[in-house]
Structure 1
Amino acid sequence: MGKLLRNFISLFFKKFELKHHFLFQKNRDYKIARVLYFIFFLIFIPHGITHSEENNHEKPIETQELESVNSIQFLNSSKNSFWFASTKEIDPKKYSGLIDESWEVYTVPSVYKSKKEPDKNVPILWVVKKFKIQKAWTEQIAIRAGIISDRDETYLNGVLIGKNGDFQSDKPQAYDKIRIYKIPEGLLKKDKENILLIKVGSYFPGEVGITQDFTSIGPSFLIEKDFYHTEYFKLILLMIYLTAGGYFLFLFMRRRKEYENLFFGLFTLLLVIYQFLRNQIKYDLGFEFFHLKKIEYLILPLLVPIFYHFIRTLFKYPYNIVVKLTDTVQVSIFLFFLFISNTNTYNTVNSNLVQPLWLISLSFAIAHLIKKIIKKDIDAIYIFFGMLIMLASIILDVLSTRQIIVLPRVTGYAFILFILSLATILANKFVRLNEEVEELNTSLEKKVEERTRELNQTLGEVQALKVQQDGDYFLTSLLLNPLTTNKNTSESVETQFYVKQKKSFEFKNKSHEIGGDICITSNVELLGKNYTVFANGDAMGKSIQGAGGALVMGVVFNAVLTRSKIKAQKNKSPELWLKEAFLDLQNVFESFNGSMYISVVMGLVDNETGFMYFINAEHPWTALYRDGKASFLENELVLRKIGTPDNTESLYIKTFQLFPGDVIFVGSDGRDDIQLGTDNEGHRIINEDESLFLRRVEEGQGKLKETVEKIFHSGILTDDFTLLRLSFKENFTEQETHFSSEFVSLIENGKEKIKSGDIQTGLSELEKAYSIHSDNEEILKLLSTMYYKSKNYEKASKFFDEYLKIKPENVDTFLYASYSHKMSRNFNRAADYGEQLMLRNPNLVKNLINLADVYKNLNVISRAKELIEKALALDPENTKGLQVQRSLSQFSQEF
């Protein structure tokens, strides 16, 4: 059927192209769409897929050893866990567990294929699993048997513990239902062999067995809790989608000309219904399984065409004849499904006709988007990337449905990214049409444009000064002075400047200075936290040349600060903010082709915790004054001066925890280049001891004025000299924190329970303590660590997020947080943490491998390859790295 359909559609395109040759000459969309169609066709309808299993010549272990079932234990096939299958008729009450030649090793989960007769249709299959339990159990035990296609009777030790479906019925019963059966008390044996025997009846020809999900045994309340948490979380997401879809349907009712709102609302509504019908909660409603499946199949012919029309109406494309024909066929299929009642027919038509026709609609949709992307349409870019994520999830689900791979459904999770991208675009479009908001946006736009023009004008003046060797010093100083500003208003972080430029001049009987040093402080808000920004720069050259560099830095850095007030810029991590600020400066200075460089120390200090992020680009080392002693924070040169080619490859963000009373000094090299005197020949003696500055800070007791005076007493300045002093809670009085006895008791009990092995109870006690003091560092660390160790990555990621808000200095935690978010399929958050960690520790191999795996899941293959190549360059024999590299190579070949 699939081969005939491929030949038919291929012939159709050739005939159509000959008949409408002029269209293909004029309309590039047709050409792009046709190429995309055949690419997708190769993905969705493979010409021949062979399944191969790894040969295992070792004798399989018939009985799996389980230490305890007081926690969930997985029963899926592995090197220590084997399932067996037989098509021979068995009496479940008399079966002794003997594995003879009629049994074959069967991989769970997967569709059963007999090694002896792989093409044989198996209507009834017997599946057996044997296991022993070493320790006693205290709770009622249940078994999760995964998704069984289609009906089953499940026996434990010869006793029926559960069943689904009627073996005599010719209708589907429950081929996508997760089976959970409670084990009657006294049936499970300790230290003896337990025999789990499942009778499986097929519905679809060639599809029988435990096909999806996973198998496990454990306390029934834990298994049900895990089951319902997952399903209800999906329902919550569906409610969000439903709200978004309803909102845009309401917008269409108010503005009937905007059909994109109608199509988006219908698309969202249909997809919500479809995803609900894939949710296990549907079985609690009491509806007949066949009727639910019929609704599911009725939605499929309409879903993708409606999405195409959303793209078409959003970007004002005409309704072409190819899509009209495709839509006609899809509507006909919908009506056909409506009047027949055979799930096998539904499945065959869907696989061989509906899905291939989807590719035509998707090909034109992507062609439209590519055409807009070429024109740099931002809405098209957003939709395209959202669509790529959604398309990848759909491909995985289609391949899973066709039993080519075995994976859980991922479309429901990927859809949130997709729907948010579409909803954001439509919401922005609606906002632009709203008169009141449009007026505010126009006003803001004008201000931004005006500010940009001013900055561009200033930068243009710098270029003019560069050409004009005899530039006006006074004009330059007028431009530079407003850029050297101490705008920090934080009460916990105080900043002070001292600026002394080497070049002095008089203008209109007033003395002025000009030079290449600059100091800037301000405040920004990032991820809901307030930071103090500081920067100290020393541009290459003397007087006017140095002033030009300082002016460029002042313009660019103040532009960065201005841009940071925009809402979108506030959602960045401190590391990313510093990286982008550095890149902005690097790109501008690099454009001078080596005629202008600048050394810089710039950073951010958390106003609440005192945690400092900073970059040192070949600037004198940062000094710390603590408890009467001064010391340097750096001990090696990492970055060259800003403007040096290829400087970004060595970008490294340093961090340091400031404590109350700590003082930081950042200064230009004028602090060290002191003329101590002259030798016998009259030559100047210049200080070469960098530690001299530390002694002057100690002599000045960490005060700015006193430190500057001590430096001047040492000798004569020979260069521009600036000094920036930053103190954290200098007059802070530490207050003792008192915790309630209940809180302390909960922590101690929790620790004790965990230590004794009662992990669940211990975590429960700790979560109660967390509800009392949610910002307690110890609680957050314990909860995140224990949930990580117990592989509850969803909860681990939640507590890692909270922990890193108050303890960002813990570098290892970023890796654990990234991994937890990855395992929770929150790949964007995982990428954020990985990128933050890479900026702090660029050569951490574990992070590079994990981040490459994250980007592979995000379908950002180029970035993933770049990271894995770097990781393997550092550790060529790393097993995990080689595994990810092979996975990327395989992924590239497939797509």
Structure 2
Amino acid sequence: MSPRRSLAPVLGLGLLLFGCTGEAGTIETLREWHYRRGFDPTWIVGPIEDPSQWNTVLLPRNLSALPELAADNYTGWITLRTDIPAHLNEQLRSGSPLAFNAGRVLDVSRYYINGRQFGQLGSDQPYVDAAMRPFIHDIPFDRIETEQTNVLAVALYNNGKYPLQFMDEPEVGQSDSVYLARSYREITAFAFLMFYVASGLYHLLLFARRRKDRYNLFFALFALIVAVYWFVANTTTRDFIFANHVELHRKLEHALLFLVVPAAIFFLTQFFNGRYTRFGLAYGAFCLVLFLATLTTNLDIMRICRDVWFVSLILSLSYCIFYVAREIKRGNPDATFLILGIIVLVAATTNDVLSSQGYIQTPKVANYSFLLFVGGLAALMANRFMRVTGRVEELNRDLEKKVEDRTRELQATLDQVQELKVQQDGDYFLTSLLVNPLAGNFTRGGKVTVETLTRQKKRFHFRKWDSEIGGDISIADSITLHDRRYTVFINADAMGKSMQGAGGALVLGTVFRSVLARTHARQSMQARYAEIWLRDCLLELQTVFQSFDGSMLISAILGLVDEENGTLYYLNAEHPYAVLYRNGRASFLDSDNALRKVGVEGLADMLRITTHQLQPGDVLILGSDGRDDVLLGHGDDGARQINEDETMFLRRVEEGGGVLAKIEQSLLASGALTDDLSLLRLAWLEDAAIPEEPRYPDAFLRDRDEGRRALREGRLDDARAAFDRAAAAGVHDPILLRDRARLEIRTHNFEQGLLLAERALQENDNDPEMIYLASYACKVCGNPGRAIELGERLRLRDPDLVRNLVNLADSYRLEGNRGAALLLLDRVRELEPDNSSVLKLAAVLEKDPAPA
């Protein structure tokens, strides 16, 4: 579509409008007038008596700019008169009325025929301005001379606020013709107005549909600003809105004019290059300042802003021509057409500006050239659209074949991918068949109830089966150690996604279930204490995973619960903290003893077992890091917002009441899971009645407390007497049992002290002091092997307890293991270099390195 064809509708509209201005009757343009300063009614009746007092001027003209008036900035009245053409008398004789159209006049004006006033705009006393108000009125018959010359006069007045000026050519003629011509001009003005509004709204709609093309927005702003300016400046209908608010009308007309050129510059830069230029932004800011200053200040400032804008117009139009010329040089086909329109518009605008200032006397043509310019811009954008559409059609001619070829290629690739996916899902399914039997709850009743919940992130469908696979695994079982029933558990998360994680879970499950099977089958493993069993189990897992050289690591919590007394033993290998749910409140267990992941070198040197005494009804919740990695939503930039608050899980446990299914629901309510999730729940004596606090006789409590006080103060005989009286009451009290063990060992009655300490440990294994006293008593009683066993248990709980390390080193010495004794002494020297017991034991080892 060529620019010429695109302009056809616009040219047609222009010809139609111009054709409508044909006049049915005679209208004479009154351009030549005589004027003089002041006003006297006798001046406007009959012929001019003294021609030397009168000057001649061609209208329209800014009369205040005439040398005779500009020299002293004249204010006041001036009188203008002219003769009605003689041939119009023929119409008067035929009875046809005449009308006078003065156009837009500044400022106060009075209109006379043969000395009789027949119209007025504004007032001089009191002053009421009437600047830019159009005047059209019938000439009264009663003062018209049909046989003589008729004098038409206009008296203009100003007080310095507005100039004395005719904006349009005065006309006189047959009344119907004059009014019809005025109607044609108004219709034409509104036709222009509708064209600008329609163009602006259309391109505003285009911008709303495609925000990337910002030039549509600026063209829409350009057209709409022009439309509003056109209404304010070139229609008589605007008088119904502004009424007597002449100053507001003048300010708004000028202010709108200042915004036209910046909108056009923004359109040009966006249309050709899709960007803003520094000149455009600076000039836009400059015009915005003029716009605001015009609206908020007086008319004098408005005129200064107008004059400054006229000067800047030269710079801005030069920039537009330069910008478009540069695009022509770059070979842009649209620029050639556009520069012609700019040149014509600049020439027409220059003509109108010079004409309005009175420098030249030519018709104003900018209105029509501007219509063609705006229409040309619309045609230009339509032409660009058609070019783009043509290129798209050209590219699409063989698109169907390309699409078919590409579709076949994609289908073949998709078939291959689908085949590989089926194979992969088969591998997933077979792996899940291996992993699933290893995980779960294998406990056999008892006082500890266990539940597990696993939601692997990777879910798949293979043939008729739906399953899931991942690196999370939870296992629980029942074992017997030292003739006591324990619930053993592990909650683990293998490193990696999907198959890698599942591989780690498979290895862990296999090794762990192997350890459990050997424990069930071998008395030697059942003879181990809980701490020793946990250590050996973790070291076996560590040996296997360390062989993978860091490519497969495991985070886990491994533990035991004594079903008789509720003592909890556990190891944390860089796994999320265990949660204790008690009396409706959730809290983290002591987490200071966390180890590195299973498979990391050096794990064996960091072993530390944590113990905790559970109360009846306590619930222990273990979970992988999927419990924390919850997707809370997306930010303004689209980035995912993952939960970073580890305490959030405590709130989810409380909301779920310690029940796994409800905890999962609470997690999902807060966000989406982004990782594998596994939860393990252990409850000790969950449904048992809350035990009552034992009630002891007052005499018993008095004797027991007296003995404890005496023991603390070192009065051992008094302590023994008080403890004997308390024991004679036949009341079983764990506190009394432990204090009696302390007393017997302090009085060197080691065999009795050992007996009491072991009885205390049977009831409560979570007492490090009793373990130490029992180990010390065994060593003194000549049983260093048993002392080592107890000392190693305590060492696993507290590796840096100096007195236990010293006692353990001495026990190893007595057992004949001098190397182990020296290693322990070296550790004590690191902790307490000046420890006297270490110095004594070191001296003994040097003197008697191998005792019998």
The structure having more radius of gyration, on CA atoms, is 2
TM-score by length of 2: 0.48
TM-score by length of 1: 0.45
